[in-house]
Amino acid sequence: MALTLVIGNKNYSSWSFRPWVAMKVAGIPFEEVLIPLYRDGSKDKILSYSPGGKVPALVDGNIKVWESLAVLEYLADKFPDRKLWPDDPAARAQARSVAAEMHAGFAPLRNACPMNMRRPPKPVLLADDVKANIARIEALWSDCRARYGKTGPFLFGAFTAADAMYAPVVSRFETYAIDVTAATRSYMAATIALPAWQEWRSAGIKEPWTLHEDEVDETPSVPL
């Protein structure tokens, strides 16, 4: 039985993007169920797949897994040959740590700069706590690359679950024209160049649903 990944709007749902891009890059086959968010009946539809009432959720037969990081961990256990975490124990420990930090943190950045694939790149005024988030992410990426990323363009050389967790941040940095270092820009370029990343963005741009009536020039009113 094929895995089923339940996601929200590709234009907005950063949490859905994380396991989706990981599965695509790793070559893990799955069926996709997309439930548009914040519409009549959306909550009930999501609850039929996800006990937490949020996307993403992974369905594997009678097993339901929700929350992006939990889905990635489940996939890493089910498909060890796909190397969703680095083989080296030290690198793997750091990859899990930075992924968990993303899952639990950076709320100021996520709230101020929601993911919106349709929004033309344009800067916004950033509060100090958002700037602190950006500085922390750049330092984190730089440290991962310096310690473990010399064999490839991603945080740990090859693309891993850690990169999947930060893929929406790459989108945010691009969409809101964040001023970043050359090293950060290089990492962003490698992520954006992924066929999976391009596939997701292309689909998101074409979606008919909007959360903000003037979103071409503004950020959506609901942070995701």
3-state secondary structure of 64: strand
Task: Name the strand (E) or helix (H) holding 65.
Answer: strand 63-66
Q: At what angle do helices 68-78 and 14-26 cross, to 10 degrees?
A: 20
- Ranges of H-type helices in 82-127: 89-104, 107-112
| Structure token digits, residue 101 | 């930090």
Last residue of a domain, one of 82, 98, 126: 82
Whether residue 170 lies inside any domain: the answer is yes
Please tell me the distance from the alpha carbon of residue 155 to that of residue 161, in angstroms, as a whole number: 10
Q: Residue 104 is part of which domain span?
A: 89-206
Mean pLDDT across 155-172: 98
- Check pLDDT > 60 for residue 219: no
Q: List the beta bridge partners of residue 131.
A: none
Mean pLDDT across 99-123: 96
Report how many domains make up the chain.
2
- Check pLDDT > 60 for residue 137: yes
> 93 and 78 in one domain?
no
Whether residue 57 lies inside any domain: the answer is yes
Q: Could you tell me which of 130, 115, 121 has the C-alpha nearest to residue 68?
A: 115
Amino acid, res. 36: P
Q: Could you tell me which of 224, 168, 200, 203 has the C-alpha nearest to residue 25?
A: 200
pLDDT of amino acid 218: 38
Q: Using 50, 70 and 90 to split pLDDT, how confident is the model at 1?
A: low
Task: Name the strand (E) or helix (H) holding 199.
Answer: helix 195-206
Q: Using 50, 70 and 90 to split pLDDT, how confident is the model at 143?
A: very high
Whether residue 216 lies inside any domain: the answer is no
Task: Name the strand (E) or helix (H) holding 105.
Answer: none
Whether residue 62 lies inside any domain: the answer is yes
CATH number at residue 49: 3.40.30.10
Q: Using 50, 70 and 90 to split pLDDT, how confident is the model at 212?
A: low
- Check pLDDT > 90 for residue 147: yes
8-state DSSP, 120: P
> 78 and 140 in one domain?
no
> 181 and 132 in one domain?
yes
Largest Cα–Cα distance of the chain, in whole Å?
48
Q: Rounded to an integer, what is the distance from CA 18 to the centroid of its chain?
A: 3
> 39 and 98 in one domain?
no
Whether residue 42 lies inside any domain: the answer is yes
| Structure token digits, residue 122 | 């344009």
Whether residue 105 lies inside any domain: the answer is yes
- Check pLDDT > 50 for residue 217: no
pLDDT of amino acid 222: 41
- The answer to whether the beta carbons of residues 134 and 124 sit under 8 Å apart is no
